[in-house]
Structure 1
Amino acid sequence: MAGFAEACEGDGIRVRRVSDAFAFHTSQMDAIGEELAAAVAGLSPRASEVPLYSTVTGELLDTATMDADYWRRNLREPVRFEAAVRALLDAGHGLFIEVSPHPVLTGAVQQTAEAVDAPVVALGTLRRDQDDQERLLTSLAQAYVHGVDVDWSVWFEGLGARRVELPTYAFQRRRYWLESSTQTADVVSAGLGAAGHSLLGAAVSVAEADAAVVLTGRLSLHTHAWLADHTIGGSVLLPGTAFVELALRAGDEIGCDAVEELTLYAPLVFPAAGAVQVQVVVGEMADGRRPVGVYSRVEDEQSPAEWVQHAGGTLVAGDRTDPGFELTQ
C-alpha cells in the first residue's frame, strides 16, 4: 500500500491515507451489521420536511423508512451516488451544494451531469486551509449569483447594519453607431442628380464636354464623425482609401468601373470647425480612358478659398486593365 501511494504521488496524484480499520460497503461490514442494527433499533424515523434522495436506494426516499435495516444497508451496500444525482437531475434540480469541511463530491456531480448533457452548478461550503467565515460567505455569494435565495439579514444580525439607498448618478451611455450626415438637400430640383454616396451629394454632367461629369460633396467632422479616427500628427486627414472610393464612384457615373492608376498629390486636411467642399471631376474620353481628379476647398462664404487638387488618375472599363490598380503619392 505504501508503494502504491508513493507511485501516485510521483505521478502528481493527491493521496491521503484513510485510517479506518474497516472497508465500508464491503463484506467486512457483515461482522458489525447486526451490532449496528441493534444499536439503532430504538430510533423512530419520521417523514422529513425536506425531500431526501438516498444514496442507498438511488432515488427519492420517504425518511420514515430509515429504520435500523436501512442503516445496516447504508454500511454494507454500494453507494448509489450517481443514481441519486441522476434522479435529482431528472427532477429538474440544477444546483448542488456540498456541505462538508472540504468539497470532494462536486467534481463527481459535474461529471454525472456532463454524461447526460444536463446544465449544473456544483458548489462547496468550506475549504481546507481557508478561513471558515470568509469561505462560507464566498460560497453563499456564489450560490446567490446562481439563483439561490439567500437570507443575508441573518449574517448581519447584532452588527447594527441597516439598508441604505444606493446613491443616484447620471445615466451614462455611449453610441457605437456612426452618426448620419446632415439632411440631404433636394439636388434634383436644382438640376443636379443625386450621387447616392455617403461622401458625395450630387452629380452633374457637363453639357459641352464628351459626357464629362462632376460629383460634389461637403465633408466635416460634424457630419462625418468617423473621420476623426484618421488623425496623424494632430491633424485629421481624409484616408487614402477614401480617394480611391471617390474615384470609383465617379467612374460608375460614366461607365468606367476600374481605377487604372491614382496619384496622391496633397493631403486633405479637415479644419477643427467648419467644412470642406469636395469635387471629383472626370474628363473627356481619350484612347478609351478618362482622367479623374479630386479637389477640395475650405468652405468660407466670406472669402472662398482656392481649389486644391489632392489626387489625379485614370479611369477605364474593367476589361481594359489587369487586376488591381496603381496608387502612388
Structure 2
Amino acid sequence: MAAVNGPASTVVSGAVEVLDGVLEEFPEAKRIPVDYASHSAQVEGIREELAEALTPVRPRTGEVPFFSTVTGRLMDTVELDGEYWYRNLRETVEFQSAIEGLLELGHTVFVEASPHPVLTIGIQDTADTTDTDVLVTGSLRRDDGGLATFLTALARLHVRGVAVEWRQAFAGLDAHVVDLPTYAFQRRRFWAASLRQTPGAAEFDHPLLGAVVPLPDSGGGLLTGVLTLAGQPWLAEHSVAGVALFPGTGFVELVLQ
C-alpha cells in the first residue's frame, strides 16, 4: 500500500507484473507514470545509499506546525532526520489519517499548494465521512497557472472568511483599495407583508386558507395560507414529543377545499 489518500483513493506500489494483475482485477484503476516503486519493499534495496545521502541532514524546529503523514501526528520538525525521510519514502503515506487528525483538531481550511491539485478530492471525501464543513482549494492548475489563478484561489479563501494578507499578495503590483459606493443601500422590502396583499389574490373565507389566486391556464385556483401557533393556537393541542404537528384531518380539510 503506497498511499491512502481518502475513502475512495488508494495507491499501490510494487513489481510491474503484480501491478498488471491489479489493473486486470480493478479496471477502474489507472497506472501512474513513474519509473520507481516508492513506498514499497523495493525501497529497502537502497536503504544504505539513502542513509549515506541523508547523513548531512540537520533538522531544526520550524516556525510552522508540521503534521506528518508518516506518524499521523503533529511533530517537532527537529525530529525530521535522515531516518525519518527514509521512512517517508518506504512506508505507506497515511494521508487520510492525517486529514482525520487535523479535522479532530478543528481545522476546516485546506489549501493544496502545488502546480495541479491531486489531493483536494481525497480531503473533501474524508471530511464528508465525518460530516465536517470544510473549504478545500488548490493554488494553481495544470495549463492554467500564473498569478491570476493564484489570486483567484486567495479570493475563494477570502469570501469564506479566511484572513488573507492582501498587501503581500499584491506586492509589486499596481493594486489599491477602492471605496464602497457612495450611495446609501436601499433597504426596502419588496415582498408582501400578508397573503391578502398578494397581487391578483382574492380573500378566501377559511380558518386555514387566507387567499386564492386564479390560474389562467386551467381555470382553477391556487389556495394559499399560513399556519402559525399565533394564528391558529389550537395547533398546539396536537403535538408529538413536544413538537406541534399539523393533524391528518387538517390535510383532509385542505384537500376538500
Residue 64 (structure 1) aligned with residue 78 (structure 2): yes
Cα distance in 2, alignment partners of residues 126 and 160 from structure 1: 22
Residue 155 (structure 1) aligned with residue 156 (structure 2): no
The one of 143, 148, 155 aligned to 1:141:
155
Partner of 1:36: 50
The one-letter amino acid paired with 1:29 is V
Partner of 2:34: 19
Show the 5 A alignment for 1:93-108: 93-108=107-122
TM-score by length of 1: 0.51
Partner of 2:193: 178
The one-letter amino acid paired with 1:96 is F
Cα distance in 2, alignment partners of residues 74 and 131 from structure 1: 29
Cα distance in 1, alignment partners of residues 29 and 52 from structure 2: 38
More deviation in 66-75 or 115-124? Answer: 115-124
Distance verdict in 2 for CA 1:159–1:95, change over 3 Å: closer
Show the 5 A alignment for 1:1-329: 15=30, 17-20=32-35, 22-175=36-189, 176-178=191-193, 226=197, 229-230=199-200, 241-242=202-203, 245=205
TM-score by length of 2: 0.64
The structure whose RCO (Cα within 8 Å, separation 6+) is larger is 2
Q: Is the 8 A contact 2:70 2:87 kept in 1?
A: yes
| 1:181-237 residue CA offsets vs partner (Å, 9 max, x unmatched) | xxxxxxxxxxxxxxxxxxxxxxxxxxxxxxxxxxxxxxxxxxx8x37x23xxxxxxx
Unaligned runs of 5+ in 1: 180-223, 231-238, 249-323
Q: Is the 8 A contact 2:115 2:140 kept in 1?
A: yes
Cα distance in 1, alignment partners of residues 147 and 132 from structure 2: 32
Greater strand content: 1
Distance verdict in 2 for CA 1:7–1:82, change over 3 Å: closer
Distance verdict in 2 for CA 1:172–1:76, change over 3 Å: same
1:4 Cα deviation from its structure 2 partner: 8.3
Q: Secondary structure at the match of 2:110?
A: strand
Q: Is the 8 A contact 1:60 1:87 kept in 2?
A: no
Q: Is the 8 A contact 2:23 2:29 kept in 1?
A: no
RMSD: 3.1
Cα distance in 2, alignment partners of residues 76 and 4 from structure 1: 20
| 1:83-118 residue CA offsets vs partner (Å, 9 max, x unmatched) | 111111111101111111111111111121222222
Cα distance in 1, alignment partners of residues 193 and 104 from structure 2: 49
1:2 Cα deviation from its structure 2 partner: 8.1
Q: Secondary structure at the match of 1:89?
A: helix
Among all aligned residue pairs of Structure 1 and Structure 2, give the percentage whose two residues are the same amino acid: 45
1:144 Cα deviation from its structure 2 partner: 1.3
Q: Is the 8 A contact 1:37 1:71 kept in 2?
A: no
State the number of aligned residues.
Answer: 189
1:30 Cα deviation from its structure 2 partner: 0.3
Q: Is the 8 A contact 2:115 2:145 kept in 1?
A: no
